[in-house]
Structure 1
């Protein structure tokens, strides 16, 4: 988005309608494990990785949505265990706060000033996307507000 490079192509998940035979985990057990990991402070992406790597009772879960019919964030919302901010917005706010503190300490660091401008631009776009749904209608990004939220 903010570079002249071409970017990298990612891989797509294989299309599947049902979980593989070797992963026959009960969907209630998966939901319990998701809530347990969320209470330990893990983000939804980290929960998916832990379920893929560690699994539930030793059996890996390759795809939570195939196993339960719900995404990790939907499971967290159903059990009131989710965060108040979406994960991508929270990560960008944390980066903006770190960059802002760095630029305050190092005013001649022009490269990171530019990185801060780009990050804040991304934050504003995401705030516009989430406004009214996951965020209040009158939510505006400021450094102080971001620091307060984190």
Structure 2
């Protein structure tokens, strides 16, 4: 048995590189491990806006506010600015990130975006379970998603991005009237 420090577990005998990569992929489903999410895009080294970009920072801020009023999330706004307007990094043009600009104008979402998407996923799983009551796998996945919601909410309360009295209630998220009986 040999301890493999990059993978974080013991390996019996000699293994090829391909086998080690497969073992590493298998471990990626686990939550708080250091090797989860190894792919990422590299940020540009230059922090100044490109010389060919002829749009001012006030125009970019106006565009961000306009898109937010249409109901787009900060990540959707970033994708539109990147694809349609050629602005790769809003921070290099304006000096602030999209969410900070939205907070300054009072247009920031009430709950953080990743928490919102997890709640949306839990609602869709719950609707699926109303139609398919015997779907055991979906019940299990719902438990996992809701535990992720609670963990993320605890973090956001600690960092004061959510009010301390905020609580996830599945019946309120679904829009189902909760009977006190």
Q: TM-score category by the smaller chain? A: 0.7 to 0.9
Q: Tell whether 2:172 aligns with 1:145.
A: yes
**How far off its partner does 1:119 sit?**
0.7
Report if the CA contact (8 A) 1:64-1:71 is conserved: yes
1:74 to 96, 100, 107: 100
5+ unaligned residues in a row in structure 2: which ranges?
A: 1-26, 31-35, 176-181
In structure 2, what is the equivalent of residue 135 of structure 1?
Answer: 162
What secondary structure does 2:67 align onto? helix
In structure 2, distance between residues paired with 1:90 and 1:2: 24
1:83 to 92, 109, 133: 109
In structure 2, distance between residues paired with 1:2 and 1:128: 23
Paired residues in the alignment total 144
**How far off its partner does 1:110 sit?**
1.6
Q: With a CA cutoff of 8 Å and minimum separation of 6, indicate the structure with the bigger relative contact order.
A: 1
What secondary structure does 1:30 align onto? helix
Q: Tell whether 2:59 aligns with 1:33.
A: no
In structure 2, what is the equivalent of residue 103 of structure 1?
Answer: 129
5+ unaligned residues in a row in structure 1: which ranges?
A: none
Report if the CA contact (8 A) 1:34-1:76 is conserved: yes
Report if the CA contact (8 A) 1:2-1:118 is conserved: no
Q: What's the C-alpha RMSD, in Å, of the aligned pairs?
A: 2.1
**How far off its partner does 1:65 sit?**
0.7
TM-score, length of structure 2 as denominator length: 0.72
**How far off its partner does 1:134 sit?**
2.2
TM-score, length of structure 1 as denominator length: 0.86
